């Protein structure tokens, strides 16, 4: 998993910070913003994108479908349209399992 949403502490994140979180280019984020209606970060008066936790979660959902599950952009759009709630729930479950795994690994290393 690229980023754990619950660990984010700031109100807004720059496009550079989001690109770093997911290890992708800024241009990919801008491209996906133009392709997916779901992804709409706030822009300040200078036009700089400011991503909230919700925006990052939306990006993470798209990232999961396209980069981790191998969907085409059109396939990801259809999947989001028909199964968004299920996808988000599955993602949160996977995130919880990764946390548990990390905790158990840390515990094992201490013993």
Q: What is the structure's pLDDT at 67? A: 94
Q: What is the structure's pLDDT at 41? A: 92
Q: Residue 45: give its domain's CATH number.
A: 1.10.1660.10
Is residue 21 a contact partner of residue 56, using CB atoms and an 8 Å limit? yes
Which H or E element spans position 14? strand 13-14
Mean pLDDT of 73-79: 92
Instruction: Tell me how far CA of residue 79 lies from CA of 68, 75, 83, in angstroms.
Output: 14, 6, 6
**Is residue 95's pLDDT more than 60?**
yes
Q: Considering its fold, how many domains does the chain have in total? A: 1
State the DSSP string of 57-70: HHHHHHHIIIIIS-
How far apart (Å, rounded) are the C-alpha atoms in residues 111 and 107? 7
Q: What is the structure's pLDDT at 108? A: 86
**Is residue 84's pLDDT more than 90?**
no
How far apart (Å, rounded) are the C-alpha atoms in residues 57 and 39? 9
Which residue range forms the structural domain that includes residue 65?
Answer: 5-110
pLDDT tens per residue, range 19-59: 999 999 999 999 999 999 889 999 989 989 999 998 998 99
């Amino acid at each position: 998993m690229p980023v754990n949403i619950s660990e984010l502490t700031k109100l807004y994140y720059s496009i550079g910070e989001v690109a770093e979180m997911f290890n992708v280019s800024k241009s990919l984020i801008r491209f996906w913003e133009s392709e997916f209606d779901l992804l709409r970060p706030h822009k300040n008066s200078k036009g700089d994108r400011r991503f909230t936790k919700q925006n990052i979660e939306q990006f993470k959902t798209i990232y999961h479908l396209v980069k981790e599950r191998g969907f085409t952009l059109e396939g990801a759009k259809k999947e989001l349209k028909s199964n968004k709630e299920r996808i988000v729930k599955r993602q949160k479950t996977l995130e919880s399992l990764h946390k548990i795994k990390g905790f158990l690994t840390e515990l094992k290393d201490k013993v």
